[in-house]
Amino acid sequence: MIVAVYYNNRDVRIQEMPIPEIGDDEFLLKVMASGICGSDVTEWYRVPKAPRVLGHEATGVIAKTGAEVATFRVGDRVFVSHHVPCGKCHYCLRGHHTACETLHTSNYFPGGFAEYIRVPRLNVKQGVYRLPSDMSFEEGTFIEPLACVVRGQRLASVGKDDTLLIIGGGVAGLLHAQLARFRGVWRVVVADLNPYRLRMAERFGADFVIDAKENLPEKLKEVNDGRLADQVIVCTGAAQAALTALECVDKGGTILFFAVPDPTVRIPLPITRFWRNEVTLRTSYGAASNDLAESLAILAQKKLNVKDMITHRLSLQQAAEGFRLMAEAGESLKVILEPNKT
């Protein structure tokens, strides 16, 4: 089979490797669609572990099952979670499933940007979700990114009476906007530097969009009755976005760092002002089983428009082009690779 091996954003190589052998408690997935995530082109995060086969939004058809796999059958259409928590450790029991060491070390092999992947025992038991008959493989690739969004908004306690500012209008930012609109959030504002992404934000649920080159706190007040935002969600790793977020949160509000700068960046906090005004800083990372189940249930309702967020559908042989499109972040949103499209 062929796989796309990541070295860096400008070096993605198509190589051959054997189709993985499976054990009795595993199954083999024929990958039909796998989305390129923004984190896949975050080089400070990915390059230290390169070369490797990335891809963690894979959907497909079960091609082969081990003798002990009774829950799933050959031909089942599924989404498979790449990371699975143990559910038993100190962190899982406290609701911090994505801090679980098992979640951080579990994975399928070799990765979603391959024609086939081996799904290990733990993932078979806790990380497989059947796709509804009317959900395409492409739509199913949104289960994982939307689950991350679901988790983030839950941890930040985004509510219906909030004004929500989303900094960054890529796929994650637009999923945040769509989910907020779906849940009846009072006012949704999206800020970005890219005019294309601002247009897309208007299309996918934002009440207002703001060019981030402007004075963002002042522009925010203009569209929000003179106030800053109750909730600020940072969906870009740019250091300036993190700094700007600190100036956009209202008294009693929350900033959710959904994306973060590289580890060398230090962000100075106005801690005294935040202390006086009871401002909360939150982070969220990834998604756990409950988030994935909730995401699938939301997508099954067809109330979020994810299909039109797909701007590029490419073959696995075109993986390098897909990574280029994602890294340049021009006029593209969701880029999906289809390893077995005929």
Report yes or no: 25 and 72 within 8 Å, Cβ to Cβ: no
Which of 283, 298, 325 marks a domain boundary?
283
- Residue 50 has a pLDDT of 96
Whether residues 36 and 18 share a domain: the answer is yes
Find the domain containing 250 and state its range. 147-283
Q: Are residues 273 and 324 in the same domain?
A: no
Q: Please indicate, yes or no, if residue 41 is contained in any of the structural domains.
A: yes
The DSSP 8-state label assigned to residue 135 in this structure reads: -
Query: Measuring CA to CA, which residue among 175, 160, 130, 210 is closest to residue 307?
Result: 175
Residue 68 lies in a domain: yes
Report the pLDDT averaged over residues 70-85. 97
**44: part of which helix (H) or strand (E)?**
helix 43-46
From 283, 298, 322, the end of a domain falls on: 283
Cα distance between residue 246 and residue 263, in whole Å: 18
- One domain for residues 266 and 154: yes
Same domain, 22 and 129: yes
Tell me if 300 is assigned to some domain.
no
Write out the DSSP string of 93-114. HTT-GGG-HHHHH---BS-SSB
Q: Are residues 23 and 108 in the same domain?
A: yes
Sign of CA dihedral 321, 327, 332, 337: positive
Residue 46 main-chain phi, psi, to 5 deg: -100, -40
Q: Does residue 297 sit within a domain?
A: no
**pLDDT over 90 (residue 149):** yes
pLDDT in tens, 302-332: 999 999 999 999 999 999 999 999 999 999 9
Residue 283, SS3 per DSSP = strand
Instruction: Please report the pLDDT score of residue 188 as a whole number.
Output: 98
DSSP 73-90: -TT-EEEE-S----S-SH
- 125 is a domain residue: yes
Residues linked to residue 82 through DSSP beta bridges, in sequence order: none
Q: What is the CATH number of the domain that holds 264?
A: 3.40.50.720
Claim to verify: residue 120 and residue 165 sit in the same structural domain: no
One domain for residues 57 and 94: yes
What is the reported pLDDT for 28? 98
CB 7 within 8 A of CB 319: no
pLDDT of amino acid 342: 73
- Is 290 contained in some domain? no
Residues 133 and 229 in one domain: no
pLDDT at 140: 98
Quick one: pLDDT at residue 341? 84
C-alpha distances in angstroms, 140 versus 32, 94, 110, 134, 261?
Answer: 10, 29, 20, 10, 29
Please indicate, yes or no, if residue 298 is contained in any of the structural domains. no
**Domain with 130 in it: what CATH number?**
3.90.180.10
Using 50, 70 and 90 to split pLDDT, how confident is the model at 84?
very high
Same domain, 262 and 322: no
Q: Is residue 298 over pLDDT 80?
A: yes
pLDDT of residue 148: 98
Q: Is the domain of 252 the same as that of 125?
A: no
Mean pLDDT across 247-257: 98
Whole-model pTM: value is 0.97
Tell me, yes or no, whether 205 and 274 share the same domain: yes
pLDDT tens digits along 195-241? 999 999 999 999 999 999 999 999 999 999 999 999 999 999 999 99
Count of structural domains, the chain: 2
Instruction: With CA atoms as reference, report the closest residue to 35 among 113, 124, 118, 134.
Output: 113
How far apart CA 154 and CA 20 sit, in angstroms, is 37
% of residues, the chain, pLDDT over 70: 100
Do 85 and 191 fall into the same domain?
no
Tokens standing for residue 86: 């143990």
Residue 255 lies in a domain: yes
Distance between CA atoms of 76 and 176, rounded to whole angstroms?
A: 30
